Amino acid sequence: ELVVPKKVAFVGEMVPAEIRLGFDPHARPELTDGPEIAGQGFTAQKLQQSQHNLETIHGKSYDVVTFKTAIAATRTGKFEIGPVKAKARVSVPRRQATPRSRSRSPFDLFNLDDPFSDPFFADPLGRLAERREVEMESEPATFEVKPLPPNAPPNFSGGVGTFAMTTEAKPKRVQVGDPITVTSTVSGRGNFDRVNAPALEDDHGWHKYPSSSKFKQDDEVGISGAKTFETVISPNEKKQALPPLVFSYFDPVKENYVTLRSDAMPITVEGGAAPAPAVVASQPGPAATVAASAKPSPKPQDILYQLSERPKVAQSFTPLYKRPLFWTAQFVPLLALLGLIGWKATQARRENREAQRIAALRHEAAELMQKLRRNDSSPQEYFSQASRAVRVKTALARNIDPNAVDAETAAAAFDLDENERTQLRRLFERSDELRYSGAHNGAETISPESRREVLDLLENLRT
């Protein structure tokens, strides 16, 4: 039987459920398939076997195996959950040529004549028994799902339940640009798979890296526990406190949204941009003036007479080609010509290097697009190649270093609309998350829709 104690819930709310399978104590059951919950419009946690008890039902003893899970609806309205189906191999009496009339058990799970009153159960060697596979099926359970109310908080990520939050940050004293690790823990009961990291209430002056998370469950199916997030942030300017962290969720008991807000954490951020050195005017100081004024003038060696007219220039008979002034006049144009040739050569090399750089970037962009059109890349490789392709295309459009390109620079370079800007930011955030957080290193794949969305975005990056 399928037991769902709650009949009305909200979208995303985790509702505990039980599956109970009953067998005769002598049947020695061995599950071969399931149990499995049929139906659409909901998700279920992995089944966990929790109990194996002997119970009396309608006056007869049964071995009852209990499985626990939790169900979360993905759409609104009324629908059915189940039925639950399972298969098991059990011991039943060998069929006799002349069947006897037997009464049926009121808890006959196997749709057979009641086999467990057969005398084979008194046979310790089981010579009158045979193993047979039987199918079991429960009745479905009805379920009504209500939508979440409108006007959700901006940072609401879909968490439904009852939660509490604690935060801490280390270290408390850093320089501008140094990393600070913010640890926040969200604990309680609810759909932890939709619980995202708390956000800074005011992120002005902070650079935030993707968060990593780990979940420690307190029950068998994972609807109670604590999810811890570690987020690395770095200040871009002097700060005296870390802004409060906020986390919003929907409380199905109160039937409204709740926003948790931490206290601002005092920290000390020192340093900043180095001041430009002061330029000191080159003025003679008093000491230099005194020293200059104190320098004695040379004493005349003899009495000099006053010239009354300009002396005549003596005519030289030295050939022109032997005079230094002649060769100096020849070297000046030659040096100017050599300088011009050197400048032209430098300009040519510079233009050649620029042409080579542009050709290399175009070649890299073409190779990246070819790789992205294939389906053999892991998520980390795919999003790293996609973000690199954006940087290379922006570098070609703006003639800048591709390593200096971020999402905002690329969006401005190609004049993207708001929807394309949002897609571009998500692409860079996804790439950073896979690179820095160490998450998603398993066998995760990328859906064809996600690949098509990324390729369409990259192909539209044209000036």
Q: Check: CB of residue 154 under 8 Å from CB of residue 16.
A: no
Q: The tokens of 316 are what?
A: 């030289």
DSSP code at position 12: T
DSSP code at position 140: P
pLDDT computed for residue 443 by the predictor: 52
For residue 67, give the 3-state DSSP assignment: strand
Q: How many CB atoms lie within 10 A of CB 235?
A: 21
Q: Check: CB of residue 438 under 8 Å from CB of residue 212.
A: yes
- For the entire predicted model, the pTM comes to 0.53
pLDDT computed for residue 8 by the predictor: 93
Residue 147 host element (H or E): none
Q: Check: CB of residue 10 under 8 Å from CB of residue 145.
A: yes
Closest CA to 159 of 257, 226, 228: 257
Q: Check: CB of residue 62 under 8 Å from CB of residue 23.
A: yes
Q: Strand ranges (DSSP E) for 120-267?
A: 129-137, 141-146, 161-170, 173-175, 180-190, 199-200, 206-208, 212-217, 224-235, 241-242, 245-251, 256-261, 265-266
Query: How far apart, in whole angstroms, are the C-alpha atoms of residue 304 and residue 324?
Result: 32
Cis before 83 (ω within 30): yes
Backbone φ and ψ for 253, nearest 5 degrees, come out as: -80, -50
Alpha helices in 205-323 (DSSP H): 286-294
Q: Work out whether strand 77-81 and strand 141-146 pair parallel, antiparallel, or are unpaired.
A: antiparallel
Angle formed by the axes of helices 379-398 and 448-459, to 10°?
10
Q: Check: CB of residue 179 under 8 Å from CB of residue 208.
A: no
Query: How far apart, in whole angstroms, are the C-alpha atoms of residue 455 and residue 449?
Result: 10
- Per-residue pLDDT tens over the stretch 423-459: 888 888 888 877 766 554 445 677 777 888 888 888 8
Q: How are the residues of the chain apportioned to helix, strand and coil, as percentages rounded to the nearest 5? A: 30, 30, 40
pLDDT computed for residue 162 by the predictor: 96
pLDDT computed for residue 278 by the predictor: 45
Q: Check: CB of residue 37 under 8 Å from CB of residue 221.
A: no
Query: How far apart, in whole angstroms, are the C-alpha atoms of residue 52 and residue 55?
Result: 10
Q: Is the dihedral of CA 375, 378, 383, 384 positive or negative?
A: negative
Query: How far apart, in whole angstroms, are the C-alpha atoms of residue 152 and residue 157?
Result: 9
For domain 156-270, the CATH architecture is Sandwich (2.60)
One pLDDT digit (tens) per residue for the chain, 463 residues = 888 888 999 999 999 998 888 888 888 888 887 788 888 888 888 888 877 778 888 888 888 888 999 999 888 999 888 888 888 888 887 765 545 444 444 445 444 445 445 554 445 444 567 888 888 888 888 889 999 999 999 999 999 999 999 999 999 999 999 999 999 999 999 999 999 999 999 999 999 899 999 999 998 888 999 999 999 999 999 999 999 999 999 999 999 999 999 999 999 998 764 344 444 444 444 444 444 444 555 554 544 445 455 555 555 556 666 677 777 777 788 888 888 888 888 877 777 777 888 888 888 888 888 888 887 778 888 888 899 999 999 998 888 888 888 888 888 888 888 888 888 888 888 888 777 665 544 456 777 778 888 888 888 888 6
CA-angle at 227, arms to 67 and 435, nearest 5°? 115
Q: Check: CB of residue 429 under 8 Å from CB of residue 436.
A: no
CB hemisphere CA count around 443 (13 angstroms): 0
Q: How many CB atoms lie within 10 A of CB 334?
A: 9
Q: The tokens of 34 are what?
A: 């399931």
Q: The tokens of 345 are what?
A: 């050569």
pLDDT computed for residue 178 by the predictor: 92
- Per-residue pLDDT tens over the stretch 188-204: 999 999 999 999 999 99
pLDDT computed for residue 259 by the predictor: 96
Residue 391 host element (H or E): helix 379-398
Q: Is the dihedral of CA 263, 269, 273, 278 positive or negative?
A: positive
Q: The tokens of 101 are what?
A: 């009339």
